[in-house]
Every structure is written in C-alpha cells, then in structure tokens.
Structure 1
Amino acid sequence: MPWPVGPRNSGQVSAAAGMAPQTDPARKRARVKTGGRNLAREDIMDMARDRAESGLGAMRTTARSHLNPKDAADKRPSGRLGACFRFCRRTQRHGCRPALSHVSRPIVPPSDHHLPPRMKTASLHLALYRTLLVSLLALAVALPAQAAEWPGWRGPNGDGTSPGLKNLPDTWAPDKNIKWKVEMPAWSGSSPVVWGDKIFLNTPSKEDPSAAPPPPPEPAPGKKARPRPAGGRGPGGQEILLLCLDRATGRELWRRQYDRGNDIKMKHNMSSPSPVTDGKHVWVVSGNAIVACYDFAGNVRWTFDIQKNFGKMGIQFGYGSSPLLVDGKLVFQMLQGLYTDDPCYVFALDAATGKTLWRVDRPTDAEHESPDAYSTPSLLVHGGKKQIVIGGADYVTGHDPETGAELWRGGGLNPNKSRNYRVIASTLVNNGLIFTPTRVTPFITYKAGGSGDITATHQAWKWTDKGAPDVPTPVTDGELLYFVDDQGAFTAIKAKTGEKVYGPEQTGIGRTSASPVLADGKIYIVSESAETAVVRAGPTFKLIGKNALDGSYTLCTPAFVDGTIFLRTGTHLYAIAK
C-alpha cells in the first residue's frame, strides 16, 4: 500500500529472536465478609477442613464412648451440634437428624443401619460436617475474585477497569475513609502500581530550595525562549527515583536513583511515565528516556539509554509514554518530530536482559509538532492473536509483538493536517473495537481485523461533537464509552455506534488530566486540584459525590486493589478505603 512519504519514512525493520514469557503472577486472594471478619478463600477452605476434621473426631469419640463412656465424657462436640448430641443421648433418639433442626437445608444421611446406636448419631454429625465442607468450598469458588494487583498504568488490562472489585468507597475526606497517607518527595504524573504487598512509584527527589533553578526549556523551532516565571511549583529535585512502599502502611521500603536531570515541560517533569511489574521485577522509564529494571528487593538488573542506542529524541515535552509488558517484552513508542527529522519508531526490549529484540520505523507525513505523542501502547487480542496498538503522529497502527512489523494503519486523525496535532490520550481496545483519541476531535473508532490501510474499510464511527478528551484516556464497560474532557465534563456514548447517550455533563471538579477508572459500577475522575468526582456507570448521568483532599497539583490516575484506592496527589499518596 502507499505509505506516507516524507523525511521520516525510511521504513527500516530490524528484529531479533523473541523470548519466553517471564510473568509469574502471585496467587490472588479474594476476600469475603463473613461474621464480621474478612476471610480469604484459603481461610474458608482451611475452616471447612477444620470443621470436617472435628466431625471425624466426634465420630471417633462416640465410638470410644460406646465402649467406655467415661473415657469420652469430655470429648463430645460443643455448640449446637454438641447440644444435639447430648439431647439425643439423653432421649436415646438415635435416629435424630441434626440438619433438620439446626441448619436451614435438610440433609439425608447415608445408611448407618450396621452401626452401633451411638455411632449412628456420630455418622449424622459427620454427614453434616461433610456437607458444610462442600458448601464452604463451593462458596469459595463462587466468590468473585477481588483484584489483587494493579501492575501498570490503567490497571491489569491497561484499560482503566477492574470488574471484580466491590465495596469501594465513593465518599472520603482528609478525616474520613483514609487508611493512611504518606508524603511524596515531589509531584509527578507517574501513577502508582501495586503487586502483592508493594507499591511502586516514579518521582523526582525533593527539591532543594537553595539550589540554582534549572535553565528554561528549549524553545520550539521558530519561537523565542521564555524565562521560567517566578513562583509556582518547581520541578522537584534533580534525581529521578523509583520508590517502593509497603502497601499496608505506606512505609518506604527502598528508593533507587536511576536517572538525573529534571525540569518542567508544560505538565511534565522528568518522572511522568508509570512503572510496570510482573510480580518479580519492576521496570521504569524517565522523561529523559532512561529505562531501568529492578527486582523486588531493589537490586538493579539492567539499564538502557534510549537516546544513546537510537539517537537523540526530538519530542517537545520529554518522554511521557509508559512501557507495555507483553510476553516477556517491554514495548516502547517514540513518536517525535518537533525537534528532529529522524523517523518515529517502535521498539521492544527483552524484559529479562534489556537487550533490543526489534526496532521498526513508523512512517508518517505529520508535520512540525504533530508527530509528537505522549500516549502509551495498548494490547489488542483479536482472533486469538496479539497486536500492539500505537496511536499518534496522525495515524493509529497495529504491530506484531514478535517482530514489530506493521500489520495495519488507520488515518484521518488529523484531517486538516494541522501542524500542532500532538496526541496525549492513549488508544483503548475493547470487544474488537479500537477507540482512537486525537487532539480532541475527530475521535475515530476502528474495527479490529483489518490489514494494510483500514482508514475506509474498518472505520466503525467518528465523533466530532463536544465532550471528546484531549489528555484523559476514555474508559468503557463494553456497552457505553465514557469521555472526560480537560475541564472535567462527562459524556456517555454507545460504544458500538458512537451514538450520544448524554453529556457533556458538568462534574464541577475543574481541570482534569488523570484518566477515568471504572470499578464497582462507578467511574472515578480525579481533577488537577486533587478532587475526585464519582459518577454512576449507566445510561443516566448520576453524580454520586465529590471528594476533596489536599488541593495540590494532581495528574495521576489512581490504582484500585482489594477495596482500596491508591490516589497520588501533588504532595501525598493516599490509601482510601471504607
């Protein structure tokens, strides 16, 4: 097919052999409210086994009492079953069925005509315990699993949803529903990721007020340099850090510096990308394009300098994309153009070693700032095959994870060929649809399954009305697609057709950069002033409430794990739960 022509279209492809998946997810523990206590599935199973063993003990005790009642006088069952045992012994009701009088469902015991009278009673007790064991095990299996990990930006599926979560708070305040809070060294756009008992965050160090301010950012081509205004927020310190915190308390377990050099570039400092983890290692990238891998003890495994290996990046506001972990590969995009004539490209590193597996150019005819993109790659699974989806530089493209080869591309994202159509929001995939944000409009949705140029053949619908986002990435429940624009206004449309359901509706929280999260039937939207609007999912707009915290500059999308919301503001990380 005729690809766009221009100075960035060398189209070169290099690839190396792939590797086996490195993921080894930790065991997930679902929790259920039982008798005022939170029990895990494993706890329920252990309890059931204990009950069954006590039933066997009761049978053995009764057998001994048949031979020598005195020896077993202190070894009878207790509680309701013990009362039944004692009543039956006094009245000689050896045919008693305790299930009929002490539990809600009658249970017919197995035949025990060959047993001595007292062993018949014990066999009934054992039948009840066995039934209890089966019931509790069935309950444990049937319970919906609570999400135990939030391994990367926008959660376990990379789409801002966690369907299994329940009982999440929808109201909080500085003195309400806060489990703990811990001060952050500096503000950042990096969202927390959670695995097991650990939380990971990217952050600058604390700013030294006595240090000389960094130089102003490099001006765009053809524009004059502007001095940094006095006052306001600084970029933070010059060290770029990976923090590891204890999930239960927020206590810092370790910190590691993996880069140096920090500055403010619009809404960025040089710590904006979020980490990603597989439960054994955690990977992080800085705004200066330094990649690092650590194990959970904080030992560095490898580092990789993107600019040293692939050339100086030419993106205006620094590197802002988070890595995508796919089958032991870390996938990155470098969509650039304002400060360079070098091509845009996509590449993959071996997650275990940091070695380059493949690198492919991504051709574009976008001009000036329009090649720049700060979006994060998405994973599409269609027809049993995986594809990497990249949005930005006037196109959306699909790539083979094994080689990086481009499989398809859709255009029309910048119909007027504007020179400043940089892209911030990421693509979203769901139910065979590829939702593709641009700089507000048009918002185009493509159908999966195409090859080559899919611009005309696979477009599902196009949105040109109000309400589409610029910075926040949308979220969907499969039926409705939810937009949050940069002013916090909320719009719902039908995911399959693009038909408006309602909106834009005002949430009243003001300017918003964080992406919405859908969990427990609610959409959580965090403003730049650390206020969270909670909206009921569904075809009717219902604002459940607004929750203010510290008012600090907030860009981060929250993480949701086991009934707790981990929300990073400009000054603190909060654990929010009922």
Structure 2
Amino acid sequence: MNYLKILVALSLLVSLGVSAFADWPAWRGPNGNGIGSAENLPVEWTVDSNVSWKVKLPSWSGASPIVVGDKVFVVSPSKQEAPPPADPAPGRRGRRPAPPPGMGPGGQNIFLMCFSKKDGSLNWRSKLDEGNEIQFKQNMSSPSPVSDGERVWAVTGNGIVSSVNMKGKVLWQYDLQKSHWKLGLQAGYASSPILFEDKLIIQVLHGMHTDDPSYLLALDKKTGKKLWYLERETDAIHESPDAYTTPALSKTKDGIQLVILGGDYVTGHEPDTGREIWRAGGLNPQKARNYRIVPSPVAIDGMIYAPTRKKPLLALRAGGKGDVTESHLVWKYEKPAGSPDVPTPICDGKYFYMIEDFGQVTCLDAKMGNVIWGPETTGLGRVSSSPVLADGKIYITSEDSEIAVIQAGPKFKLLGKNELDGSFTLSTPAVSGNQLFIRTGEYLYSISEG
C-alpha cells in the first residue's frame, strides 16, 4: 500500500471514529462552536417522557457537562449551604444574588463527577478544591472541564487546575493564584480551559479588583509544567478588563491561531508560544468603564465573531498581522435588539444566530451581517447559557430550566418548548449520539427519543 492510500485509510478511520462516538469533550463541543453531529434528537419532553435517565446533583453550577466515550463528566460543589440566586423582585426579570455577592458559602468542596452515559450511574467523584462561595450569579465551579479521551482537566473559580485520569485519580494540580496573581474579577473566575495538541491553555482576563496584569498560560497537559506565559496588554479601565470568555481556535492560511476576547480587544496568538500576532479594537468605542465581556469569540469558516456587552458585535476576517481593526473588519452589528450580553452566539458558517438574554433570537447572514429574520421570541425567561446546534435544531436553555427548540435555517420556526424541574440553570447542554445532556440546578438529565 503506498503512502497516499495509507493517508486515505487513516482519514477514513478518523472520520468513522468521530461519527461513531460523537464525543462532546469540552464546553460547546468538539470544535468549541456549539455544533454537534448528534442525530434523532427529541423536540418535546417532560420530566416523565423522553427522559432516559436523570441523577440528582449535590448542588447547582454553571459548569457544563462533557461527554467522552461512555462517560459524562460534570464539576459540582458539595451540598450547598446557601440557596442559589433568588427569584426576581416584582416588576423585575431574572434572578439576583442572594445572599450578597461573595458572602454566601455554596458548599465547601468542589468535585469532578463521572457518570455512565448509558444509565447515569455514578462511576466516581474526585475532590478538586475547597472553599466554594457564591459570587453574583455563579460559584467557584463555573468553568467547564475538557478531555482528550484519556484525561480530564478542570479549573475552579479559586484558580486550582487539576488533571484527572479516567479512573478518578488526580494526577497533578497547578495553583494559578500562588503561581501568578490573585484573581480579580468582579463576578468570579469562569473561563473554561481548552486543549491544543500537548497544551492546556488558560486565560485570566481581569482588572476590576486588581492592578495585576491579565495573562495567557499554557501548561503541559501530561505534567502540569508551565510551557509559556504571556501578559496580555489592555488599556481598558475599571470593570472593562474583566472577561468571562473562553478562548477559541481559528484555522487560517498560516495555521491554527488562538483567539482571545476581552479587555476591549480581540487578539490572535500563536498557540505554541502565546505570541500575539494581531489585535482588533472597536469593541468598546465609548471606552465605558463597565464593558466586561461574557460571550466568547466564535471562529468558523475563515471568520471571527466578537460579541461584546450588547453592542457592537464585530465580524472579522481571520488572520492578519498587527492592528487589524479596520483592515479585517467585514461587518458590524450595532442594533440593541437581539444582541447577546451573556449567551455566546452560534454559527454554522452560513447563518449566525444570536440569543438575547431574555430568549429573543436573531439570525444574520454570517458573511454579510444582514438580518435574515428576527428578533423572534421563544417565550423563555432570562437566558445565561449558550445555545447548541445539532440535527438541524437549536436548543436554548433558560435560567428556569425551560428549553426552547427552534429550527435552524433561513426561516424561524419554534418547534417546541419544554420544562424540566424549574431549578436555577446556567450550564450549556451537551449532545452525543442521540442524547441531549442537560444540567439543571438540581439534576443531570439524559434526553432521547423513546
């Protein structure tokens, strides 16, 4: 067999493996864009129908489930000692902190939990950290884990990075606050780590409660050894340096680039060294003091989308060098209606979907930026999780664990709206095979037809 045939055979094996197992190994899936290859996903369910299993969780968390092989992983605090954010006061929408920010204990320990994908039985749980507390709407377990199929890595809101094998043994830990700086975000640390080759990449973008620099960090995923560290410059002020975003990876003609959003800029970096290649401004044109960013960058099909605090939303051509603020700007969306403040948008390369914080959905042409439809209402309350797209459907989850299902494509159609247990829900669903995994404030659910 010649070299070309070997390559073809290997590529077929790889694609068969991806199709067969359909892992969801990180926040927003295998490519970090919220799109999955799952099929035959349900449109309607209740707590009694189309729920293949559910398991009670110790406490609520913003961390999303990930799926690797026959295992589902979630990060959770131990049994809560204080309630999650309370229902809104009369005349207001969305939950608010209770007790006051930073003062409420939320269960002392933080665990990585491993469940059977088949029936939800608990395989093991491993302690990662302690000292959990509530900060605004989240606690110290908000970052989602990531896996390469052999190990799982997780970061807590206290800055403890852990590597855990598939049997639950903690292999190494790295303390961000002892090794670098104290975390200084207004609402607690929540960025999820990502993997690139042999590197675990972590961002810390902060400034509200610290004068220490924001930075990017790469650790050897096997040993925890620091491979590179880069201080990320910003002239953002007050709360605007804070970002709760997660890095993205962008494919360009020059190779894979690391995309970081926050502190009034979106920047591109070499993932092997951290070196900054390009940066774009224009995210906070008025230089507001409170322009923290929650939704993450989206990188797909040669484009990079940078959401901000409501507006503007910038679409950039991937790549470039130096200041690309003007040279690589493709379009800008500045209408307040439909723009996200918390949920990360989702894009398949053709259509760009934005979920506004109270469940309104707008669809734009991904290449041109013109409105195709919307804003359309889903009837949901406040939304703090991000949408996922699979099987031609988009799943949107509210803070009250209601899930709207809409049809993906050039015409808006609400396919279904489903209730679960009504508990405080922040995490983004995962999809794998024909199963939808939803983590509410009380339970982890597996939803499937039949």
What is the deviation of 1:165? 2.2
* Secondary structure of residue in 1 paired with 2:353: strand
- Equivalent of residue 475 in structure 1, options 343, 346, 350: 346
- Equivalent of residue 35 in structure 2, options 161, 170, 176: 161
**Where does residue 175 of structure 1 map in the other structure?**
48
Is the aligned partner of 1:485 residue 2:356? yes
What is the deviation of 1:300? 1.1
**Where does residue 260 of structure 1 map in the other structure?**
130
* Secondary structure of residue in 2 paired with 1:149: coil
Is the aligned partner of 1:383 residue 2:253? yes
Is the aligned partner of 1:279 residue 2:149? yes
What is the deviation of 1:313? 1.8
What is the deviation of 1:447? 0.4
**Where does residue 65 of structure 2 map in the other structure?**
192
**Where does residue 408 of structure 1 map in the other structure?**
278
* Secondary structure of residue in 1 paired with 2:249: strand
**Equivalent-residue separation in structure 2 for 1:284 and 1:153 (angstroms):** 11
**Equivalent-residue separation in structure 1 for 2:265 and 2:376 (angstroms):** 30
**Where does residue 150 of structure 1 map in the other structure?**
24
* Secondary structure of residue in 1 paired with 2:179: helix
**Equivalent-residue separation in structure 2 for 1:325 and 1:412 (angstroms):** 28
- Equivalent of residue 313 in structure 2, options 430, 437, 443: 443
Q: After superposition, what is the alpha-carbon deviation per residue over 1:32-89, rounded to whole angstroms, capped at 9, x for unaligned?
A: xxxxxxxxx9xxxxxxxxxxxxxxxxxxxxxxxxxxxxxxxxxxxxxxxxxxxxxxxx
* Secondary structure of residue in 1 paired with 2:177: helix
Is the aligned partner of 1:418 residue 2:291? no
**Equivalent-residue separation in structure 2 for 1:147 and 1:409 (angstroms):** 37
Please, what TM-score do these two structures have when normalized by structure 2? 0.91
What is the deviation of 1:393? 0.3
Is the aligned partner of 1:536 residue 2:412? no
What is the deviation of 1:456? 0.8
**Equivalent-residue separation in structure 2 for 1:439 and 1:487 (angstroms):** 14
Check the 8 A contact 1:29/1:148 in 2, yes or no.
no
1:291-440 correspondence to structure 2 within 5 Å: 291-383=161-253, 385-440=255-310
Structure 2 CA distance for partners of 1:235 and 1:440, relative to 1, 3 Å: farther
Higher helix share: 1
**Where does residue 75 of structure 2 map in the other structure?**
202
1:483-522 correspondence to structure 2 within 5 Å: 483-522=354-393
Check the 8 A contact 1:471/1:513 in 2, yes or no.
yes
**Equivalent-residue separation in structure 2 for 1:401 and 1:241 (angstroms):** 29
Please, what TM-score do these two structures have when normalized by structure 1? 0.71
**Where does residue 334 of structure 2 map in the other structure?**
464
- Equivalent of residue 560 in structure 1, options 394, 408, 431: 431
**Where does residue 7 of structure 2 map in the other structure?**
none
**Equivalent-residue separation in structure 2 for 1:201 and 1:238 (angstroms):** 17
Q: After superposition, what is the alpha-carbon deviation per residue over 1:159-204, rounded to whole angstroms, capped at 9, x for unaligned?
A: 0001x32211111111110100000000000000010111111110
Check the 8 A contact 1:207/1:234 in 2, yes or no.
no
**Equivalent-residue separation in structure 1 for 2:435 and 2:202 (angstroms):** 30
**Equivalent-residue separation in structure 1 for 2:419 and 2:20 (angstroms):** 26
Kindly provide the amino acid, as one letter, of the partner of residue 29 in structure 2.
G
What is the deviation of 1:247? 1.0
**Equivalent-residue separation in structure 2 for 1:207 and 1:422 (angstroms):** 28
Kindly provide the amino acid, as one letter, of the partner of residue 351 in structure 1.
K
* Secondary structure of residue in 2 paired with 1:429: strand
**Equivalent-residue separation in structure 1 for 2:407 and 2:73 (angstroms):** 29
Unaligned runs of 5+ in 2: 1-12, 84-96
**Equivalent-residue separation in structure 1 for 2:437 and 2:15 (angstroms):** 18
What is the deviation of 1:315? 1.3
**Equivalent-residue separation in structure 2 for 1:234 and 1:206 (angstroms):** 13
Kindly provide the amino acid, as one letter, of the partner of residue 303 in structure 2.
L
Check the 8 A contact 2:72/2:117 in 1, yes or no.
yes
**Equivalent-residue separation in structure 2 for 1:342 and 1:29 (angstroms):** 45
**Equivalent-residue separation in structure 1 for 2:378 and 2:98 (angstroms):** 33
**Equivalent-residue separation in structure 2 for 1:346 and 1:249 (angstroms):** 39
**Where does residue 569 of structure 1 map in the other structure?**
440
**Equivalent-residue separation in structure 1 for 2:308 and 2:140 (angstroms):** 23
1:67-78 correspondence to structure 2 within 5 Å: none
**Where does residue 123 of structure 1 map in the other structure?**
none
Structure 2 CA distance for partners of 1:165 and 1:384, relative to 1, 3 Å: farther
Check the 8 A contact 2:22/2:38 in 1, yes or no.
no
1:28-47 correspondence to structure 2 within 5 Å: none
**Equivalent-residue separation in structure 2 for 1:147 and 1:435 (angstroms):** 29
Q: Report the identity percentage.
A: 53
